[in-house]
A = this chain, B = another copy of it.
Amino acid sequence: MARNKAFDPEERLEKARDLFWQKGYNATSMQDLVDGMQLNRASIYDTYGDKHALFQQCLSNYAKQALKDYKQCCQVCSPIAAVEHIVRKAIANRKEGQTCLMVKTSFELASMDQEIKDLVKNQALDLIYVLQELLEKAKQAGEIPADKDPGVMARFLYSSFSSLWMMDVLFNDKQLIDQLTDHILRSIRQ
């Protein structure tokens, strides 16, 4: 009956994601996407819907990938080491000039766009839950003090990603990021 797509929608979605990741939603034009995804306009609209829908799919893709990465840290070692690994990894293997899409989006769109806000919020809650479970195990294992509240600590850690990314954008100084990360983790452990 019909013809097949000459491209892999998943793979091209990642290209779109990388464009939004770099320039943000508003500053990325449809022309940028046509060029960057190496796709015709019609193919983009046909496959993903309009710009907003495309962005949502990029965000979902990003969130899913990030959560998977974080969950992978859980099995490796002790709970507290897994937490450390998650926090340090978040920024360590970033590409130059790329800032976490979730954090970026929180500030560019979440306050004005309820759909986007819900998406970001749900991803945040997922990650916070992963952290909270690790911290509860860590507490039981005596790796963190008994007076710490794993829920609050998990939310604090999640929020700290925003700190680290902002400082990375402004100062681009690995030593500074390490010092801040050390303090953040120390504040959990003792």
Contact = CB atoms under 8 A, between A and B. Distances in A.
Interface of A: 23-24, 26-27, 97, 99, 103-104, 106-108, 110-112, 117, 120-121, 124, 149, 152-153, 155-156, 159-160, 162-167, 169-171, 176, 179-180, 183-184, 186-187
A107 B120 CA distance: 16
A24 B26 contact: yes
Contacts of A110: 169-170
23 contacts: A24-B108, A26-B26, A26-B27, A26-B108, A27-B112, A99-B111, A106-B166, A106-B170, A107-B169, A110-B169, A111-B169, A152-B183, A153-B183, A155-B167, A155-B176, A156-B163, A156-B180, A156-B184, A159-B163, A159-B180, A160-B163, A162-B162, A162-B163
The DSSP consensus for interface residues of chain A is helix
B107 A103 contact: yes
Kindly list the 6 A-B residue pairs having the minimum CB-CB distance in the complex, ordered from nearest.
A187-B187, A26-B26, A159-B163, A162-B166, A107-B107, A162-B162
Given A111-B99, A112-B23, A179 B155 contact: yes
Given A26-B26, A97-B111, A106-B170, 14 more contacts: A23-B112, A24-B108, A26-B108, A99-B107, A103-B166, A107-B108, A107-B169, A121-B171, A155-B167, A155-B176, A156-B183, A159-B163, A163-B163, A183-B187
